[in-house]
């Protein structure tokens, strides 16, 4: 099996590149916040789907996408491109805006991204407090996270491409209810979930997000790049309720 491939720029890249957390920690944390901003726009404008499936992003041959988001008479999509390192906002009426992926603060990204939406006639307000992170800083006030290393951003995406393929194959033979293979911007992981069809016991003290996500029995597996508490990428699996 070949272990390398070509990018559109002709660069040779490993299919499963090394991704040591310490080497791209700052980029990882900044990119996490950028995906939260984009994902929250999808969450605000998309019809609700059980288990919060309407908020996720999806792996593409170039990066991550919201897929089509309904807005007024048409739709739009937001695409991260980790080959050319741009963010594209594309509308069904043929208009578009491009935001280069370069080192900038989360605040600057938020302001420039919202300006792109406004220029395309898309008006939306999001909760600027990041989800599922320790010590969150509102994205319209975050000058701390301001890194973008294109090499490591692309390495992360290249791993997601391979994991997406594996999870889709794993998902294929299951005849019951199963989630798409999707990227959760809150926890910053790619996951797929199978359901037994039975309701799960109530989780004492669960918030509304967790209660909806685990309303039924599930077996979930995923890939996560790591964080300060576990400084390496990892595959994981869990069962709810735990056996």
Distance separating alpha carbons of residues 171 and 195, to the nearest angstrom: 11
Residue 7: its pLDDT value, please? 56
Asked if the structure places residue 225 within a domain, the reply is: yes
**Residue 24 located in a structural domain:** no
What residues contact residue 7 under an 8 Å CB cut-off, 6+ apart? 13, 83, 154
91/45 Cα distance (integer angstroms): 14
The CA-atom distances, in angstroms, between 209 and each of 46, 50, 110 are: 16, 11, 24
CA distance 194 to 79: 27
Residues 6+ apart with CB under 8 A from 170: 192, 221
Whole-angstrom distance, CA of residue 91 vs CA of residue 71: 9
Residue 68 included in any domain: no
Residue 71 lies in a domain: no
Measure the CA–CA gap between 123 and 102, rounded to whole angstroms.
25
Tell the residue number behind the tokens 């991260």, with chain if given. Answer: 80
Q: Quote the pLDDT of residue 204.
A: 80
What pLDDT was estimated at residue 2? 41
User: pLDDT by residue for the chain (243 residues), tens digit each?
Assistant: 344 555 545 445 789 999 999 999 999 999 999 999 999 999 999 999 999 999 999 999 999 999 999 999 999 999 999 999 999 999 999 999 999 999 999 999 999 999 999 999 999 999 999 999 999 999 999 999 999 999 999 999 999 999 999 999 999 999 999 999 999 999 999 999 999 989 888 878 778 778 888 888 999 999 999 999 999 999 999 998 888
pLDDT of residue 29: 98
Task: Provide the residue range defining the domain that includes 234.
Answer: 161-240
**Residue 213, pLDDT score:** 80
Res 10: pLDDT: 40
Number of domains in the chain: 1
CA 64 to chain centre: 7
- 186 belongs to a structural domain: yes
Outline where 46-105 has alpha helix (H).
none
DSSP 8-state assignment for residue 126:
-
Is 45 a domain residue? no
Assigned token pair, 18? 């090394």
Q: Quick check: is 109 in a domain?
A: no
pLDDT at 8: 45
């Amino acid at each position: 099996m070949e272990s390398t491939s070509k990018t559109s720029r002709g660069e040779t890249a490993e299919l499963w590149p090394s991704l040591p957390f310490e080497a791209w920690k700052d980029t990882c944390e900044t990119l996490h916040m950028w995906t939260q901003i984009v994902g929250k726009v999808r969450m605000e404008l998309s019809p609700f789907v059980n288990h919060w499936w309407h908020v996720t992003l999806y792996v593409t041959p170039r990066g991550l996408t919201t897929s089509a988001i309904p807005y007024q008479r048409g739709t739009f999509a937001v695409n991260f491109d980790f080959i050319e390192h741009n963010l594209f906002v594309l509308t069904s009426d043929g208009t578009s805006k491009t935001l280069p992926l370069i080192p900038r603060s989360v605040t600057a990204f938020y302001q420039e991204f919202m300006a792109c939406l406004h220029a395309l006639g898309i008006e939306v307000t999001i909760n600027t407090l990041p989800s599922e992170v320790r010590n969150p800083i509102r994205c319209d006030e975050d000058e701390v996270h301001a890194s973008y290393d294109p090499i490591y951003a692309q390495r992360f995406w290249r791993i997601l491409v391979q994991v997406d393929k594996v999870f889709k194959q794993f998902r294929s033979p299951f005849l019951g209810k199963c989630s798409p293979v999707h990227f959760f911007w809150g926890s910053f992981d790619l996951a797929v979930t199978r359901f037994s069809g039975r309701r799960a016991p109530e989780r004492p003290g669960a918030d509304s997000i967790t209660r909806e996500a685990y309303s039924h029995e599930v077996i979930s597996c995923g890939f996560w790049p790591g964080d300060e508490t576990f400084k390496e990428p990892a595959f994981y699996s869990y069962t709810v309720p735990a056996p």
